[in-house]
């Protein structure tokens, strides 16, 4: 009798667990459906090229991030922007923005509320036309290719390159084949990581080919509850206020944002930085040869904004943008570091600048950046 009771209790516990799991899965699936969360398929390989990619043209998409509906409209040219004509109107000055997902506009609720849209509204002149050529995941090498093959068709007078401190050096060093975009998303190419980096510098999550990894991948594809749990765990690592981070813990992994604020720099970090600077020099030369002027603004990653102690034994939050500033000074390129204005806002206000659990800016963060860019342009560039 005692053995039978134990078996009955065990079976009851298993049934209760399964019922709870089924209820949780149903609830998270309903939440995903209600919140309109969807996988955005934005990218396609660049034709006639050995690498890089571009936005898929003529798309109207929507998703939801932190209960905020996000609308994405890709025009007929493959730009996250309103429709524009390629020929420039007489007497009009064109300003082209290039960069990665920040320039693209993640996660402003619409492109008009992205910092490029805010800049456009702040300038508000019939003699100035603003264009957005930002593409998520781009490194400086992608940007160079994009400028040569696409941006120059629009005859920009100024090109504002939005440099992301956390990943642009990384993405440039990893080259034009760093991502697999066959699914419409940009996913790290594991073979490229292995070819480019020592294994100790690669986050194991990108290399794990074990049965456990395959099971997790299958569960993630088929379970809303697992997807929610993974997002929640990932979100806990991103600071959202000065109370969250006293000092910076430098990651040993090349793909991590904080790796680029290490002090002193490793030999590989120096090599990757030099490659990036060389690409910036090439972009500057290309633009000069086409009667266009380069402007650079550097965008901090979350830990740079919220780390209370600016410098420690193993880090300096003024890296890597110090190297970009040195390049700009040497080449007389107008330069704006956006870290001070964002840190000031974070210190003076409890308002969140980033989307919760994500390294991209919300509408407020985009507004602060857009206004800072417009002030810089009007005070230092406009004739």
Residue 46 near residue 72, CB atoms below 8 Å: no
> In angstroms, what CA-CA distances link 98 with 33, 105, 251, 378?
34, 11, 28, 19
Q: Helix 224-235 and helix 2-34: axis angle, to 10°?
A: 70
Reply yes or no on whether the pLDDT at 27 is more than 80: no
- Write down the pLDDT at residue 79: 98
State how far the Cα of 283 lies from the Cα of 54, in Å rounded to an integer: 18
Domain ranges of the chain: 1-34, 86-176+188-380
Predicted TM-score (pTM) of this structure: 0.88
Q: How confident is the model at residue 48 (pLDDT cuts 50, 70, 90)?
A: confident
Q: Is 155 left (phi over 0), alpha (psi -120 to 50) or beta?
A: left
DSSP states along 7-65: HHHHHHHHHHHHHHHHHHHHHHHHHHHHTT------EEEPTTSSS-EEEPSSEEEEEEE
Could you give the 3-state DSSP secondary structure of residue 311?
Answer: strand
Alpha carbon distance 245, 141 (integer Å):
33
pLDDT tens track for 285-326: 999 999 999 999 999 999 999 999 999 999 999 999 999 999
Instruction: Tell me the average pLDDT across 118-133.
Output: 97
What does DSSP assign to residue 100?
Answer: S
Q: What is the pLDDT of residue 177?
A: 96
**What CATH topology corresponds to 86-176+188-380?**
Rossmann fold (3.40.50)
Return the higher-pLDDT residue of 68 and 143.
143
Residues of the chain with pLDDT > 70, as a percent, come to: 84
Decide: 76 and 83 in contact? Cβ < 8 Å: yes
């Amino acid at each position: 009798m005692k053995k039978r009771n134990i078996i009955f209790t065990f079976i009851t516990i298993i049934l209760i667990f399964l019922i709870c799991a089924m209820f949780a899965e149903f609830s998270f699936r309903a939440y995903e459906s209600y919140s309109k969360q969807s996988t955005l398929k934005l990218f396609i390989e660049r034709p006639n090229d050995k690498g890089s990619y571009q936005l898929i043209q003529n798309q109207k998409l929507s998703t939801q991030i932190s209960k905020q509906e996000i609308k994405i409209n890709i025009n007929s040219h493959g730009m996250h922007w309103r429709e524009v004509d390629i020929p420039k109107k007489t007497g009009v000055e064109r300003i082209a923005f290039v960069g990665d997902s920040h320039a693209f506009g993640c996660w402003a609720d619409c492109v008009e509320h992205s910092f490029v849209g805010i800049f456009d509204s702040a300038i508000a002149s019939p003699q100035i036309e603003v264009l957005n050529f930002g593409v998520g995941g781009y490194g400086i090498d992608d940007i160079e290719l994009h400028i040569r093959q696409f941006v120059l068709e629009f005859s920009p007078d100024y090109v504002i390159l939005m440099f992301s401190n956390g990943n642009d050096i990384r993405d440039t060093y990893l080259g034009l084949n760093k991502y697999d975009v066959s699914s419409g998303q940009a996913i790290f190419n594991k073979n490229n990581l292995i070819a480019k980096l020592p294994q100790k510098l690669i986050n194991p999550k990108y290399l794990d080919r074990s049965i456990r990894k395959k099971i997790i991948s299958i569960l993630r594809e088929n379970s809303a509850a697992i997807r929610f749990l993974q997002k929640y765990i990932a979100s806990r690592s991103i600071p959202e206020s000065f109370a969250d981070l006293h000092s910076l813990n430098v990651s040993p992994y090349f793909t991590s944002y904080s790796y680029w604020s290490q002090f002193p720099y490793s030999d590989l970090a120096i090599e990757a930085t030099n490659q990036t600077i060389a690409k910036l020099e090439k972009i500057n030369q290309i633009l000069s040869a086409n009667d266009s002027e380069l402007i650079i603004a550097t965008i901090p990653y979350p830990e740079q904004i919220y780390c209370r102690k600016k410098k420690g034994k193993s880090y300096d939050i003024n890296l890597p943008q110090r190297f970009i500033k040195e390049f700009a000074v040497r080449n007389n390129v107008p330069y704006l570091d956006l870290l001070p204005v964002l840190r000031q806002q974070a210190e003076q206000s409890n308002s969140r600048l980033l989307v919760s659990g994500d390294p991209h800016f919300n509408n407020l963060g985009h507004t602060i950046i857009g206004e800072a860019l417009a002030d810089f342009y009007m005070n230092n560039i406009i004739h």
